[in-house]
């Protein structure tokens, strides 16, 4: 078993390939799938973002070291990124910093650092002290004491999204084109089954259906609504 650059363990090239930290690493081995997300389809996905910011974000994705395994996964991942960041226009939750106290709750042994707020930041809007701590431990960064780093560094904005994505095993349904299953993981208690934010799910699904076309994919073959 290999430990990936995101601190998650597994057996496939995603864990044992580029960035592998320990185990039977196969450094430097790359497959054709690594070119799935390129400047052209990234521009298509984030079509209402100014070119300078889009280039900056795209470089952050490249620097993160993550690569989609197939077009379905690329569309799923970028659709969630688009939804969580208003099309990558922001890497900080719009309610910040006022909503910071809403994210002070801790369900683990870790408490927030004095003077720090843990509202949503990054491409998946990382929030709460436990998540900042866990992501930081996996990435080798002190995000508990420096949560702003998630929004200040483009690569970290994407790395924390990838950390959440892999730690919660979103990659498996994503590669199968099961968007609904990934939505259940990222925000299911609010958006799925007629939840209080069901309208947000409709927007999320519409974004996914649009971004699929950026990768030459047709309509979803699996119901994208949870």
Domains of the chain, each with CATH number or no CATH = 1-30 (no CATH), 34-220 (1.10.530.10)
- Which tens digit of pLDDT belongs to each residue from 19-69? 676 665 655 444 334 579 999 999 999 999 999 999 999 999 999 999 999
209 C-beta neighbours (distance < 10 Å), count = 17
- Which tens digit of pLDDT belongs to each residue from 127-154? 999 999 999 999 999 999 999 999 999 9
Task: Check if the beta carbon of residue 6 is closer than 8 Å to that of residue 139.
Answer: yes
Q: How far is CA 17 from CA 37, 70, 122, 132, 172, in A?
A: 18, 16, 24, 25, 18
Model confidence at 106, pLDDT cuts 50, 70, 90, reads: confident
Q: How far is CA 69 from CA 77, 97, 113, 184, 207, in A?
A: 11, 36, 37, 21, 20
Residue tagged active-site, from 14, 84, 93, 191 = 84
93 part of the active site = no
């Amino acid at each position: 078993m290999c430990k990936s650059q995101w601190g998650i363990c597994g057996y496939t090239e995603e864990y044992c390939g580029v960035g592998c930290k320990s185990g039977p690493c196969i450094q430097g081995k790359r497959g054709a799938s690594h070119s799935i997300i390129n400047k052209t389809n990234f521009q298509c996905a984030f079509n209402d973002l100014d070119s300078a910011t889009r280039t900056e974000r795209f470089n952050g994705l490249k620097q993160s070291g993550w690569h989609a395994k197939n077009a379905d996964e690329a569309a799923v991942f970028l659709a969630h990124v688009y939804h969580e960041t208003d099309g990558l226009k922001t890497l900080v939750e719009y309610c910040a910093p006022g909503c910071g106290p809403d994210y002070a709750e801790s369900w683990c042994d870790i408490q927030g650092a004095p003077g720090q707020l843990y509202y949503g930041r990054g491409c998946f809007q990382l929030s709460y002290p436990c998540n900042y701590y866990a992501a930081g431990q996996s990435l080798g960064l002190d995000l508990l004491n420096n949560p702003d780093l998630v929004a200040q560094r483009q690569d970290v904005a994407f790395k924390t999204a990838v950390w959440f994505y892999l730690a919660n095993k979103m990659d498996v349904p994503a590669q199968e084109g099961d968007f609904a299953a990934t939505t259940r993981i990222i925000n299911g208690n609010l958006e799925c089954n007629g939840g209080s934010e069901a309208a947000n799910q409709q927007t999320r699904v519409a974004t996914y259906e649009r971004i699929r076309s950026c990768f030459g994919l047709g309509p979803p073959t699996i119901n994208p609504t949870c």
